[in-house]
């Protein structure tokens, strides 16, 4: 089922691109870009939701509400949900596109692994999933050579007896750049900032280590994917180059795209009936006149 729906079409698409460009390395890069292009609407939706959530969480009034109910999680959650509902924010808005993309990424990974069949047994399995319109006898096995690399082996650029893992270094660097320039603005004492910083430190090393261990074909995919992701975010104007290039002007911080009407006074007035607390008060209505950032 998984193979038929995901891996087989991906594998055949990758083989088709390989036949067209006659180079497996370039085919991996193009294949990654094609998949990124197909999943662009999901990425854009995910980013939009993430931005709305970030804006909401950075809102001082929202924070005040969270602080107020810090000892009453149930109540805090209830209030949170009301705000989400009122502002049209889906709490799963950023998770769902990620969840949908996850099988695509796994399928992409598996199809690259399949095409790089290096043993007769792997070739038998590959031959089985190739669609009849692709002449399997002429295209298999795939030539794994790309630049100095053997895409079926972990990549090393040999200078004498020293093997330099160029791709692994590039993957490490691009993952770091990706994490850094796409890092959302957070406050120093923010919990999410701590998490984000930890991830920013861990991810490049983890990806670099995998690129060092995996076959070069997969490392090439990681690299292409990193660059494509930064490109996607840059196209959406969400890349802050100043975080790695000090001479570049910092990205203008977006003003909250949602305006919280939550007010302590309102809350106090409406304490007996918290359900009404999110109802816009006259004061809140006045606040709504503030300029709003386009969502």
Partner 1 sequence: MNKKVLRLLVLLVLAGAVLTGCAAGVRAESTPGVTVTDSYVYLAYLNSLFQLDKASGAQLSSFPEKSSANLAMYAAPVVQDGYVYFGDLSNDFHKLTEGNLAQSVWTFEQAKGWYQAKPALDGNLVIVPCTDRNIYAIDIENGTETWVYKGDFAFIAEPVVVDGKIIVSSQDHHVLVLNGTTGEEIYRVEMKGAVLAPPLYDPESGSAYVGSLGREMVSFDLASGDVNWTYETEDLATIWATPILLDSQLIFTDKNGKIVALDPKTGEELWQNNAGGTVIAGATLVGDQGFLVAREDGTISYYSSESKSGDWTVTVPGNIYSKIIVDGDQIFVPVVKADALIYTYNTAGVPGWSFSPSK
What is the CA angle 146-233-202, rounded to 5?
A: 70
Q: To the nearest whole angstrom, how small is the minimum distance from the Cβ of residue 118 to partner 1?
A: 5
- First CA to last CA distance, the chain: 39
Are 83 and 280 in contact by the 8 Å Cβ rule? The answer is no
- The DSSP letter of residue 237 is T
Beta carbon nearer to partner 1, 101 or 281:
101
Q: Is 150 in a helix, a strand, or coil? A: strand
Q: Which is nearer to partner 1, 174 or 257 (CB)?
A: 174
DSSP alpha helix (H) spans, the chain: 2, 8-21, 24-38, 40-58, 60-68, 73-87, 95-115, 120-129, 136-139, 166-181, 191-213, 216-235, 264-269, 282-287
Cβ atoms of residues 260 and 61 within 8 Å = yes
Residues in the chain: 295
CB of 248 to partner 1, least distance (A): 29
Q: Please, which residue, 29 or 113, has the CB nearer to partner 1? A: 113
Nearer to partner 1, 62 or 214 (CB): 214
Minimal distance, residue 199 CB to partner 1, in Å: 7
Q: Smallest distance, Å, CB 239 to partner 1?
A: 23
Closest approach, Cβ 105 to partner 1, in A, equals: 12
Q: How far is CA 292 from CA 255, 256, 262, in A?
A: 7, 7, 16
Residue number with CB closer to partner 1 (133 or 247): 133
SS3 254: coil
Residues that bind partner 1 (CB under 8 A): 118-125, 127, 136-138, 140-141, 143-145, 150, 152-153, 156, 158, 191, 194-195, 198-199, 202-203, 206, 209-210, 213-215, 218
Name the minimum Å distance from CB 79 to partner 1. 21
* Shortest distance in whole angstroms from residue 153 CB to partner 1: 6
CA distance 134 to 11: 11
Q: Which is nearer to partner 1, 211 or 239 (CB)?
A: 211
Pick the closer one to partner 1 by CB: 72 or 198.
Answer: 198
Q: Which residues contact 51 (CB under 8 A, 6 or more apart)?
A: 184, 238, 254, 257, 295
């Amino acid at each position: 089922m998984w193979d038929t729906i995901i891996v087989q079409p991906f594998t055949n698409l990758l083989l088709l691109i390989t036949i067209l460009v006659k180079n497996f390395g370039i085919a991996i890069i193009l294949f990654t870009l094609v998949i990124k292009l197909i999943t662009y609407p999901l990425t854009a939706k995910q980013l939009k939701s993430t931005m709305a959530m970030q804006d909401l969480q950075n809102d001082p009034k929202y924070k005040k509400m969270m602080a107020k109910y810090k000892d009453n999680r149930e109540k805090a959650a209830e209030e949170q949900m009301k705000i989400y509902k009122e502002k049209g924010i889906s709490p799963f808005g950023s998770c769902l596109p990620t969840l949908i993309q996850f099988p695509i990424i796994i399928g992409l990974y598996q199809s690259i692994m399949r095409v790089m069949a290096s043993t007769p047994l792997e070739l038998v399995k590959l031959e089985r999933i190739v669609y009849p319109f692709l002449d399997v006898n002429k295209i298999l096995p795939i030539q794994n050579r790309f630049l100095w690399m053997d895409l079926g082996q972990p990549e090393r650029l040999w200078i004498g007896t020293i093997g330099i893992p160029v791709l692994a270094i590039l993957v490490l660097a691009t993952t770091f750049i990706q994490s850094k320039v796409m890092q959302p603005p957070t406050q120093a004492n923010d919990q999410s900032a701590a998490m984000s910083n930890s991830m920013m430190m861990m991810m490049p090393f983890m990806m670099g280590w995998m690129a060092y261990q995996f076959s070069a074909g997969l490392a090439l995919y990681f690299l292409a994917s990193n660059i494509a992701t930064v490109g996607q975010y840059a196209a959406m104007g969400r890349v802050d180059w100043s975080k790695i290039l000090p001479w570049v002007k910092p990205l203008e911080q977006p003003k909250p795209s949602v305006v919280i009407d939550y007010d302590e006074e309102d809350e106090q007035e409406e304490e007996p009936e918290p359900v009404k607390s999110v109802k816009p008060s006259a004061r809140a209505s006045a606040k709504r006149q503030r300029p709003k950032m386009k969502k």
